[in-house]
């Protein structure tokens, strides 16, 4: 699997660590001016480009999209569990999900509906293992 970890160092620069090297990457705000971007943000972002070899798996802990834990449902209130896990794995370049764990984080992002769920009823993944 090709994996790159980036640490966002404010609004203008990120440091990305690949398998054997480190590089600084300039960031450009999308749809906003540089002055409007936050200046003291520090965030670790994990990018997976899918399996490197047939049979490779990857365990995503507390998977997030748009700043929230990924909801267990593929669409609002539908296709929960297996469907939501498989959808997340396909987004990450894998064929599907092997197993997953569900928690109640209080805020989740429903990928298929492009909506946030807020409240104690929101079920999200605490772990998804992709193949």
**The pLDDT of residue 56:** 87
- Looking at the fold, whether 67 and 111 belong to one and the same domain comes out as yes
Are 105 and 41 contained in the same domain? Answer: no
**Does residue 14 form part of some domain?**
yes
* Residue 90 included in any domain: yes
Q: What tens digit of pLDDT does each residue of 31-42 get?
A: 444 444 444 444
Tens digits of per-residue pLDDT, 111-128? 999 999 999 999 999 999
Contact (Cβ atoms closer than 8 angstroms) between residue 95 and residue 131: yes
Q: How many domains does the chain have?
A: 2
The answer to whether 94 touches 131, Cβ cutoff 8 Å, is yes
Measured CA to CA in angstroms, residue 102 lies from 3, 31, 106, 123 at distances of 24, 34, 12, 6
pLDDT tens digits, residue range 71-102? 999 999 999 999 999 999 999 999 999 999 99
Instruction: Find tokens 């049979």 and name the residue.
Output: 55
pTM of the model: 0.63
Eight-state DSSP code of residue 67: T
């Amino acid at each position: 699997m090709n994996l790159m970890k980036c640490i966002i160092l404010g609004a203008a620069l990120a440091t990305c660590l690949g398998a054997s090297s480190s590089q600084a990457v300039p960031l450009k705000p999308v749809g906003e001016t540089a002055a409007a971007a936050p200046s003291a943000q520090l965030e670790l972002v994990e990018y997976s480009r899918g399996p490197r070899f047939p049979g490779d798996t990857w365990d995503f802990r507390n998977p997030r999209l748009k700043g929230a834990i990924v909801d267990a449902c593929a669409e609002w209130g539908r296709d929960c569990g297996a469907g939501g896990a498989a959808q997340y794995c396909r987004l990450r370049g894998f064929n599907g999900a092997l197993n997953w764990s569900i928690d109640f984080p209080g805020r989740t992002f429903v990928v298929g509906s492009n909506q946030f769920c807020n409240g104690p009823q929101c079920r999200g993944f605490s772990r998804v293992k992709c193949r």
